[in-house]
Each structure stands twice: as structure tokens, then as C-alpha cells.
Amino acid sequence: MTRSATGPADPLDPVRAGLLRAARTDADVVLARARADADETVRMARAEAEALLERARKQGTADGTSAAARDRVRAREDAWARELVARAEVYADFCCRVRTGVRGALAEADVLRVGLEERARMLLGTGARVTATYDGGVTAEVPGRRVDLSADALADRAVQHLGAEVQKLWAP
């Protein structure tokens, strides 16, 4: 046995030192494994995060593409609606101008009103009751039948007679 200056040497010191070395070695191994596991967990988490991010990017692109397509459809629908409103305005203005023109023609030429009276009697017979209208035309009636040859009715029939030709008003 070895004695130290402070007292006798403990025979278990070498055993303790060996156990301490073994414990440190085991701790180093456990610590190395824990670090490796932690590194692997971080690597896997980063890989999963990258995959999620890529899926999110693809989904965002798909959503953006879908939203852009919806916006384009909506824009086309809005443009078509505006065009239809413009066409309706042009058509209404055209009808108004035709009515004004027919009223003006009837006001300037009394012979036209006389011709309308003759036409009404031709359609309904000589016993028809013919009445002048406010706009320069006439209406005629017999029991069960009526003819409207007012300026507005004549103008409306003229526009209707144009059919699809009226579309040329807004064609380029």
C-alpha cells in the first residue's frame, strides 16, 4: 500500500478511476450518439421543411394560376357586359332617331298621313274608324280588329324589319 502525505492511499482509487474512465467513455459514446441523432433529426426536419415549402410553392403557383384564370374569365365577362350595354345604348339611340325621323317626315308631308289613312282602310275595310295620332300617324279600328300606323309603330316595324342588319351599327 502506498501512503500519501495526507493519509494512507485508498485501495479503491484505481477502481474508482477505472469506473470514472469507463463512465466518461460511455458518456462520450452516449453524447456522440445523441449528437448524431440530433443532427439526423435536424437534417430530417430541414428536408421535411424543404419538401413542405416546395409543395406550398407548387400549391401557391396552382392557386395563383387558378385565380388568374378566374380573373381573366371575370374580365372577359365584364368586357362583354360593357359591350352589351354599349350596344343597347346604340340600339336605343338608333330607334329614337328613326322614330324622330318618321315623325318629322309625317309632319312635313300631309300626303303621307293621307296615304296611311288609305292603307288603314285597305287593311280593315272602308267602314274602319280612322283616328289621327299625336305623332302624325293614324290608327284604325273595326269590331275585333285594330291597325296601328302611328309614327312610332311604323318606326319600330322598320327597325324590326332590319333584323340582323342593325348589328352593323356597332360592328367595326
Q: Tell me the pLDDT tens digit for each residue of 137-157.
A: 999 999 999 999 999 999 999
Q: How far is it, in rounded angstroms, from Cα 142 to Cα 149?
A: 14
Q: Give the pLDDT confidence score for residue 10 in this predicted structure.
A: 83
Q: Give the pLDDT confidence score for residue 34 in this predicted structure.
A: 84
Q: Report angle CA 158, 106, 128 to the nearest 5 degrees.
A: 80
DSSP state of 148: E
Catalogue the long-range contacts made by 88-91 (C-beta closer than 8 Å, 24 or more residues apart).
Answer: 90/169, 90/170, 91/166, 91/169
Measure CA of the first residue to CA of the last residue in the chain; give whole Å.
119
Q: Average pLDDT for residues 158-170, to the nearest whole number? A: 85
Q: Give the pLDDT confidence score for residue 5 in this predicted structure.
A: 60
User: pTM of the predicted model, to two decimals?
Assistant: 0.60
Q: How confident is the model at residue 110 (pLDDT cuts 50, 70, 90)?
A: confident
